[in-house]
Structure 1
Amino acid sequence: MSTISEAIKKDHQEIKEYANNIRAATDDDTKTRWQNQFTWELARHSIGEELVVYPAFAKHLGAKGQEMADKDRAEHQSVKEALKKFQNLSPSSPEFLPTLEALMNDLNSHISGEESSDLPALEGALQTSDSEAMAKSFGRTKAFVPSRSHPMAPDKPPFETVVGLMTAPIDHLADLFRKFPDETVSPNPSTK
């Protein structure tokens, strides 16, 4: 069983890996596949944190935790807006890689803060079994949330949950028609 910090850090590494795969791709088809994988993972990860982790900051860390959650939600909003732009760009667009780089700069700053202070503070307030249960909830939540960025959607429960449950099936259906890398886990069974 993994802790919530381990689950979040694993996602962070995958997101960084997918960005590197986009950069390294030598043709538009491969770039598109990794772009879809990157978008799929980052969108689900962000909403999973907002629904599972950020409420835990406030619950277990009080006012300081609420400040952390509010700061992280604001950073997520910026990332969601950049992801919305990036997910709609063609790899042949001159904006494609600069948009990815700007997105990753914001995201790397957010990741650094989360991993160096936010998650250790949360882990310090949790029993290991609670952290493991939260990691399990985080993983389950990611299965039911939208797989594309929707920056205009509410970012706090319960409204985020309601909008997410309405939007997710549309995103998941559209994922069936998107290309994903052959060697990754994706929502698209036709790539296997």
Structure 2
Amino acid sequence: MLRITPFRSLKPALSSPRTFTTTTILQARILPTIKAEHSKLRDEYKKIKSAANSDEKDRWRNQFSWDLARHSIGEEIIVYPQFETHLPNGKEMADRDRAHHYEVKVSLAKVQDMDVTSADFDPELDKLMKSLENHIKEEEEHDLPALEEKLSIEASDDLSGKFERTKMFVPTKSHPTAPDKPPYETVVGMLTTPIDLMRDMFKKFPKEARK
């Protein structure tokens, strides 16, 4: 069992920023790891939709945006290259998933900074979630199971750990025009992440969601 102490953002006195808490990464294969994240994103979406007031809605929107941005880039940097390496149609599969991500990123770029009381907010959020659900279905039912068949348990565990660690250092906002393939995505991400973290310092997040 590997204990990771991730990067923490600075804490100004005037705000309570989004921070990476110390996390224990248990060994798990990549498919259940990704499926657990998908489930978390669905739950956060439901919390936005069922929020009792605009403050609660804003907090859960920020959490959802933060998690989805990191999840998407983590997949592009760590998981999709594995499709290309191990699967006969892996490049086609990875390119299709990157195209799905682009649709999600475009909607997320609007949702992440939109006033949650705007009449346009819920329709844009629902549009984002519809695109995301279509992508999730493809990944969980086809792409990731195909990859799992080609990986040993140890290799899948290692891939899962790399995915989790990578999310600690990638942008926390959607940047649809940024590169979506390593190494350029990795370089741009490392430059963009500090700027995103500075912006996070002035946003509010759910108190019960600490990672």
Matches within 5 A, 1:20-169: 20-62=46-88, 64-169=89-194
Tell me the secondary structure at the aligned position of residue 69 of structure 2.
helix
Question: How far does the alpha carbon of each residue in 1:147-186 deviate from its partner, in whole angstroms, 9 at most, with x for none?
Answer: 0100010101111111100000111122122100010124
Q: What is aligned with 2:36?
A: 10
CA distance in 2, matches of 1:177, 1:91: 16
Q: What is aligned with 1:189?
A: none
TM-score, normalised via structure 1 length: 0.95
Question: How far does the alpha carbon of each residue in 1:35-80 deviate from its partner, in whole angstroms, 9 at most, with x for none?
Answer: 0000000000000000000000000113x01111000000000000
What residue identity is the alignment partner of 1:106?
Answer: S
Question: How far does the alpha carbon of each residue in 1:115-174 deviate from its partner, in whole angstroms, 9 at most, with x for none?
Answer: 000000000000010000000000000000000100010101111111100000111122
Tell me the secondary structure at the aligned position of residue 89 of structure 1.
coil
CA distance in 2, matches of 1:185, 1:117: 32
Question: How far does the alpha carbon of each residue in 1:15-35 deviate from its partner, in whole angstroms, 9 at most, with x for none?
Answer: 110000000002110011000
Segments of 4+ moved more than 4 angstroms: none
CA distance in 2, matches of 1:127, 1:27: 47
- Number of equivalenced pairs: 185
TM-score, normalised via structure 2 length: 0.86
What residue identity is the alignment partner of 1:173?
Answer: M
What residue identity is the alignment partner of 2:127?
Answer: A
- The alignment-based identity, stated in percent, is 50
What residue identity is the alignment partner of 2:50?
Answer: A
Matches within 5 A, 1:164-175: 164-175=189-200
How far 1:6 sits from its partner (Å)?
A: 1.1
Tell me the secondary structure at the aligned position of residue 87 of structure 2.
helix
